[in-house]
């Protein structure tokens, strides 16, 4: 158990819909990362937060947004969903940016 909790574990939704993925980092970790993993693209960095503020952005689509709340949990919002958004979405946390990252078990999103 990494100490990082992601909910839900599975999500099936229709194209055009909006979903919210939730992440609770390890106790004490201030940094949260979101990654998307698909078979052809591997683990793609989306966005990083540190203590509530956005710190780094990767290949995150404009239809996607995220935030980190004062209690340090984070949410990833995916809107106007397309079939190609189907993937595993991982959240990871670390004590500080660039340090060892601990991953949650992921949310498997299926867009039909």
Partner 1 sequence: TQLLEQSPQFLSIQEGENLTVYCNSSSVFSSLQWYRQEPGEGPVLLVTVVTGGEVKKLKRLTFQFGDARKDSSLHITAAQTGDTGLYLCAGARGSGGSNYKLTFGKGTLLTVNP
Return residues touching partner 1 (CB under 8 A): 2, 4, 31, 33, 35, 41-45, 48, 50-51, 53, 55-56, 58, 90, 92, 94, 96-106
Count of C-beta atoms within a 10 Å radius of residue 89:
23
Strand partners of residue 76: 21, 66
**Considering beta carbons, is residue 78 or 107 the nearer one to partner 1?**
107
**Considering beta carbons, is residue 23 or 81 the nearer one to partner 1?**
23
CB of 25 to partner 1, least distance (A): 13
CB of 40 to partner 1, least distance (A): 9
Residue labelled with tokens 């990362």? 33
CB of 98 to partner 1, least distance (A): 3
**CA distance readout (Å), 107 to 51, 70, 99:** 23, 23, 23
**Considering beta carbons, is residue 7 or 15 the nearer one to partner 1?**
7
Say how many CA atoms lie within 13 Å of 17 toward its Cβ: 13
CB of 10 to partner 1, least distance (A): 11
CA 54 to chain CA centroid, nearest Å? 13
């Amino acid at each position: 158990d990494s100490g990082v909790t992601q909910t839900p574990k599975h999500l099936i939704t229709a194209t055009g819909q909006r979903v919210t993925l939730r992440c609770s980092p390890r106790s004490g970790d201030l940094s949260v990362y979101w990654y998307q993993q698909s078979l052809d693209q591997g683990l793609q960095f989306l966005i990083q937060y540190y203590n509530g503020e956005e710190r780094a952005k990767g290949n995150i689509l404009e239809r996607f947004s995220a935030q980190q709340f004062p209690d340090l949990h984070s949410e990833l919002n995916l809107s106007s969903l397309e079939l190609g958004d189907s993937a595993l979405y991982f959240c990871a946390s670390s004590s500080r940016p660039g340090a060892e990252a601990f991953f949650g078990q992921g949310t498997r999103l299926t867009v039909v």
